[in-house]
Structure 1
Amino acid sequence: MRHMIDQLSWKVGGQQGEGIESTGEIFSVALNRLGYYLYGYRQFSSRIKGGHTNNKIRVSTKQINAISDDLDILVAFDQETIDVNYQELRSGGVVIADAKCKPTIPDDGKASLYDVPFTEIAKELGTPLMKNMVAVGASSAILGISADHYQEVVEEIFLKKGEAVVEKNMEAIRKGAAYFSQQAGGQLDDFLLNEADGKKRMFMIGNDAIGLGAIAAGSRFMAAYPITPASEIMEYLIKKFPDFGGTVIQTEDEIAAANMAIGSNYAGVRAFTASAGPGLSLMTEAIGLSGMTETPMVIVDTQRGGPSTGLPTKQEQSDMMAILYGTHGEIPKIVITPSTVQEAFYDTITAFNMAEEYQCPVILLTDLALSLGKQTVEPLNYEKIQIRRGKLEKEPNLPEQAPEEYFERYAAAEDGISTRLLPGMENGIFHVTGVEHDNTGKPSEKPENRQRQMDKRLRKTETVPYRFDEPIYTNDPYEEPDLLVVGINSTRGAIQEAISRLDEDGFNVNHAHIRLLHPFPTEELEERLHRAKKTVVIENNATGQLASIIRLNTGVKVESILKYDGNPFLPAEIYSKCKELL
């Protein structure tokens, strides 16, 4: 009797530039269309070509939100892939390697090796470039999935090159499957997946969700300079924006990008920019200009390993303090921190709405694992989308002004938010300057004016925690939990999985995930902190930045579990460290 399973973990690895990404893409997209849930994470070098890279994909019949602790199947294009990744394999795992590299595995009995001539079969079909398709075929055979399920994906990728190219690639998949089945003596029952539900779901990275969210929010201009891991947002919109009358401009640097975004928003166009830590450093003066002139501005910061160039292709969450305190002077600011691909889509829309409603910079803070990790996404609810432009006066119905009078653009409104105009409106002339100014925007250094304008600007975001839909994601079934686990951004799935295991061990554990970093939702978190016997903060940095922000805002002592080696947290790591605390 066959042993069917509900999930497994698969990884493909080799040298950067030899088709590793496309191998994982074809494999996972086909499974996605069969209705499986997937979660993928790529490890890649900062070099354009060369250096080890791999793509790990978790496949399941049920919803999953984190990469797996171990590995069932390793597909290796070279010996280095085996050397680097073998330790992840579970007992009974399988290595499928290109026979060309004369693969070997440790003599420990943990895994089985099958050498399949990926390159040789591809050459026989006309080009060694198709070796990745041979590897996909071998992988499909071990899972018990027919090669025919790849037909649609292969046609989408290669049909523009002709039917013959499509058929050659499909033949490569079939030959890879046949060779593996012959070598294995049939199918390996331990790796046969139960059928998925067949439902259609999206499979996308966080950056694509942000790009789609920008379109849905009504944004029609992006200015940006390419940088890992933010570049995919720009690349996505270069393809999509023209269909909606939008434009992307690649600027000479991040300073120009930020200032172009400010100028476009001033003109009434919803515009934004996206970068990573080094680019954010260059934008700090412009962020201050947005705050001082009360011009809406959306910035996406995709965190990566720092400082300086640091680890540009690796996971980290170390920009939080820079985001909150990097700008000189004091301005109103909103920082939103999505934790899933779905939230990245909806939060992007919220970011544009809040930027205009509060007339200030809004930073959408993600991390590399969320920005580039690929996840199954349930169908998005477009009925939830609202476009809110705040106190923007669009109709030319302003009261007539005397020639020497100016519109009071920065009038001290009770809620701190003044009426905003589109430029060029009749009777709407006012000054715009980065220096301190009076109600009409004219420069003023009078002490009483300075204090009045500062107070006005700073009080405008006081209502944000109460208007943000879910400032903290919570799963708190216990009134007095043994432990409260707090996280931010991409750690959510790994925390959820770890807590599930702790629950099975009989521990009462609650979860709070920060979705609004600034203004900090103090009241919402404080109540949960006081109910818990212990609180631990999970974050990818060396100094416990989120824990420090929590202590600063609540006065409650919390413990930290930190990881800053460039890799995301695994569920087992969080589980074992939390169990030590309990």
Structure 2
Amino acid sequence: MISQLSWKIGGQQGEGLESTDRIFSTALNRQGYYLYGYRHFSSRIKGGHTNNKIRISTKPIRAISDDLDILVAFDQETIDLNAHELRKGGVVIADAKFNPELPEGIDARLFAVPFTAIAEELGTSLMKNMVATGASAAVLGLDVGIVQKVVEEEFGRKGAAVVEKNCEAVARGAQFILDAAEASLDEFKLAEGDGEGRLFIIGNDAIGLGALAGGCRFMPAYPITPASEIMEYLIKRLPEYGGTVIQTEDEIAAVTMAIGANYGGVRALTASAGPGLSLMMEAIGLSGMTETPVVIVNTMRGGPSTGLPTKQEQSDLNAMIYGTHGEIPKIVLAPSTVEECFYDAIEAFNLAEKYQCPVILLIDLQLALGKQTAENLDFSRVKIDRGYLVSNPEPAGDDQLFKRYAVTEDGISPRVLPGTKNGLHHVTGVEHDEEGRPSENAVNRKNMMDKRLRKLNHIQVTDPIKADAPYDDADLLIVSMNSLGGTIDEARGRLENDGIKTNHMTIRLIHPFPTELVKEQMDKAKRVLVVENNATGQLRDQIKLHVGQAEKLNSLLKYDGNPFLPAEVYNHSKGLM
């Protein structure tokens, strides 16, 4: 038996691949396996090649694999596009309907399974995905009964007859493989999972859950890939806790509604992708000028313009730091795991209210949409910090208002909610005095600017960096952000086998940049490799700007829409030595 393998299913978008993947992976998760998935899909509703690759292991994993053990194909295009990933002796399970053929030079076992024919015998060709699910389970040596239990839950609302037919499709797919296998399939049989129940979740859902736990009760948003799942999650959950979601007419309305709700004392967030964040920039400046907290999620995707809306990229870094006109205090957090998505969503609300400024939660498409195993969340860690919120202000003098924008040593002014007795003040997007009255006085302008920017001088964020640094004299420090950590750690294991000492640093606080912490890690390495999914080395340039040591810095860039593979990081790192 083996401890891990990779499985991929592919076909035309809209053929039911998602339900196949969902049922198959859910069954695996319930048996205690660790899973990590990446979905490749087209930016259209139906049609176009799509596939989903899942890595299955008896131990924790956080990266897709370099190769492939099992390919499930609903059409010949899937075989032609993906067969090159198959390891020697791999398996292809394909619908016999299209007379599948392996490309020349591919050493794999082909099972032509009558997905469509079996499904039609049972009543509808739509069930061909359940035949494929059963066939996959048989190759892995999984208990078909566990798969059928998930099928019952998936289709239970459609009635007993539908459930029975789909379960039969699973059973017949499995039996076909068992009957057709002329040689043993033991090399694909997985060792047993540990049986422990864990979350199997995407980063977007983790952010939605974190927002809910962190006190968010309002989300205005406009749908956009790859952020929409956050809104869809909260549409289902917020009403249960007295909250609501509004689908706005555009991203400008979404962010201004979120700012207005936060001004009124209701924790609110919005979520979008790069194009939507571009539209929000003026309003983000309003949040900074009026010192109104707001949380904004940016799920990065391929750009510019519409770009590659369903593909991996990390190219919004500079826009999130510098995008607003003028200069405002701003916090940009970059979680790197689904667990961090949950906890950082909570922290984002606390930071926004504590420092009275916009907080951007920056993730990439792979972290947003890649479904993966996560350890169960610790809700005892949930703490709510509303910052310098004044509930009973002292009366102001004659003709005076509450000094909402008082100049303070730490830059954080007293905040009141609308309707608070003795809390009356002006609010405006133009420069203003301590009471909020518009003012173009030069001395006042400097005082206000200095005060606002002082907020971030001593910012306290949980784990601004995450370092796995066992060596004080490392040959190589590899630096990353967001979803790349698991890929890099796997490459490091291979480098260690070659005798190369490596450290790894994930930067979680993009702005304000954690200069001293990054420098401390760089000082311990002879060379530094920054791995990022963009064309210009934006994270590398931030390191160069704030830390220096340009002579140490090297880049590994990938911007073709695909995530990094461990072998790519390993080979490039080896070449630097």
TM-score range, shorter chain: over 0.9
User: Per-residue deviation at 1:479?
Assistant: 0.6
Output aligned runs, 1:22-41, within 5 Å: 22-41=19-38
Q: How many angstroms apart in 2 are the aligned matches of 1:573 and 1:379?
A: 31
What is the count of residue pairs matched by the alignment? 575
Query: Is residue 144–residue 187 contact of structure 1 (8 Å, CA) maintained in 2?
Result: no
Q: 1:516 is matched with which residue? A: 509
- Counterpart of 1:489, as a letter, is N
Q: Which of residues 243, 250, 255 in structure 1 aligns to 2:252?
A: 255
Q: How many angstroms apart in 1 are the aligned matches of 2:297 and 2:398?
A: 42
Query: Is residue 303–residue 365 contact of structure 1 (8 Å, CA) maintained in 2?
Result: yes
1:488 and 2:481 matched: yes
Look up the SS of the partner of 1:35 in the other structure.
Answer: coil
Residues 117-176 of structure 1 show CA distances to partners (whole Å, capped at 9, x for unaligned) of 001100000111100000000000000112101133112211111111111111000000
422-431 vs 402-411, which moves further: 402-411
- Counterpart of 1:102, as a letter, is N
Q: How many angstroms apart in 2 are the aligned matches of 1:576 and 1:283?
A: 40
Q: 1:468 is matched with which residue? A: 461
Query: Is residue 9–residue 68 contact of structure 1 (8 Å, CA) maintained in 2?
Result: yes
User: Per-residue deviation at 1:22?
Assistant: 1.0
User: Per-residue deviation at 1:186?
Assistant: 6.7
Q: How many angstroms apart in 1 are the aligned matches of 2:66 and 2:396?
A: 68
1:574 and 2:558 matched: no
Query: Is residue 473–residue 514 contact of structure 1 (8 Å, CA) maintained in 2?
Result: yes
Q: 1:195 is matched with which residue? A: 192
Query: Is residue 463–residue 508 contact of structure 2 (8 Å, CA) maintained in 1?
Result: yes
Q: How many angstroms apart in 2 are the aligned matches of 1:570 and 1:404?
A: 66
Q: How many angstroms apart in 2 are the aligned matches of 1:333 and 1:349?
A: 17
217-226 vs 177-186, which moves further: 177-186
Query: Is residue 148–residue 170 contact of structure 2 (8 Å, CA) maintained in 1?
Result: no
Query: Is residue 498–residue 575 contact of structure 1 (8 Å, CA) maintained in 2?
Result: yes
Q: 1:507 is matched with which residue? A: 500
Q: How many angstroms apart in 1 are the aligned matches of 2:569 and 2:198?
A: 29
Q: How many angstroms apart in 1 are the aligned matches of 2:148 and 2:237?
A: 26
Q: How many angstroms apart in 2 are the aligned matches of 1:105 and 1:219?
A: 52
User: Per-residue deviation at 1:401?
Assistant: 3.1
Q: 2:399 is matched with which residue? A: 404
Percent identical among aligned pairs is 66
Q: How many angstroms apart in 2 are the aligned matches of 1:470 and 1:360?
A: 20
Q: 1:556 is matched with which residue? A: 549
1:178 and 2:175 matched: yes
Q: 2:537 is matched with which residue? A: 544
1:453 and 2:448 matched: yes
1:334 and 2:327 matched: no
Q: How many angstroms apart in 1 are the aligned matches of 2:467 and 2:372?
A: 21
CA RMSD of aligned residues (A): 0.8
User: Per-residue deviation at 1:195?
Assistant: 0.4
Q: 1:348 is matched with which residue? A: 345
Residues 380-410 of structure 1 show CA distances to partners (whole Å, capped at 9, x for unaligned) of 01111100110012x3x22223452100000
Q: How many angstroms apart in 2 are the aligned matches of 1:194 and 1:272?
A: 43
Q: How many angstroms apart in 1 are the aligned matches of 2:510 and 2:395?
A: 43
User: Per-residue deviation at 1:108?
Assistant: 2.3
Q: How many angstroms apart in 1 are the aligned matches of 2:521 and 2:320?
A: 25
Look up the SS of the partner of 1:569 in the other structure.
Answer: coil
Query: Is residue 301–residue 308 contact of structure 2 (8 Å, CA) maintained in 1?
Result: yes
Q: 1:309 is matched with which residue? A: 306
Q: How many angstroms apart in 1 are the aligned matches of 2:76 and 2:137?
A: 22
Structure 2: where are the runs of 5+ without partners? Answer: none
Output aligned runs, 1:249-288, within 5 Å: 249-288=246-285
| TM-score normalised according to structure 1 size | 0.98
Q: 1:367 is matched with which residue? A: 364
- Counterpart of 2:393, as a letter, is L
Look up the SS of the partner of 1:5 in the other structure.
Answer: coil
Q: Which of residues 423, 428, 431 in structure 1 aligns to 2:423?
A: 428
Structure 1: where are the runs of 5+ without partners? Answer: none
Query: Is residue 12–residue 76 contact of structure 1 (8 Å, CA) maintained in 2?
Result: yes
User: Per-residue deviation at 1:296?
Assistant: 0.2
Q: How many angstroms apart in 1 are the aligned matches of 2:458 and 2:98?
A: 61
Query: Is residue 142–residue 187 contact of structure 1 (8 Å, CA) maintained in 2?
Result: no
Q: How many angstroms apart in 2 are the aligned matches of 1:109 and 1:269?
A: 58
- Counterpart of 2:561, as a letter, is G
- Counterpart of 1:311, as a letter, is L
Query: Is residue 141–residue 187 contact of structure 1 (8 Å, CA) maintained in 2?
Result: no
- Counterpart of 1:434, as a letter, is G
User: Per-residue deviation at 1:187?
Assistant: 4.8
Q: How many angstroms apart in 2 are the aligned matches of 1:401 and 1:386?
A: 33
Query: Is residue 35–residue 199 contact of structure 1 (8 Å, CA) maintained in 2?
Result: yes
Q: 2:116 is matched with which residue? A: 119
Query: Is residue 138–residue 176 contact of structure 1 (8 Å, CA) maintained in 2?
Result: yes
Q: How many angstroms apart in 1 are the aligned matches of 2:384 and 2:366?
A: 29
User: Per-residue deviation at 1:109?
Assistant: 5.1
1:439 and 2:434 matched: yes
Query: Is residue 482–residue 509 contact of structure 1 (8 Å, CA) maintained in 2?
Result: yes
User: Per-residue deviation at 1:237?
Assistant: 0.7
Q: Which of residues 229, 232, 235 in structure 2 aligns to 1:238?
A: 235
551-560 vs 330-339, which moves further: 551-560
| TM-score normalised according to structure 2 size | 0.99
Query: Is residue 133–residue 172 contact of structure 1 (8 Å, CA) maintained in 2?
Result: yes
Q: Which of residues 51, 62, 74 in structure 2 aligns to 1:65?
A: 62
Residues 79-113 of structure 1 show CA distances to partners (whole Å, capped at 9, x for unaligned) of 00000001010111110000011110024251111
- Counterpart of 1:203, as a letter, is F
Query: Is residue 199–residue 375 contact of structure 2 (8 Å, CA) maintained in 1?
Result: yes
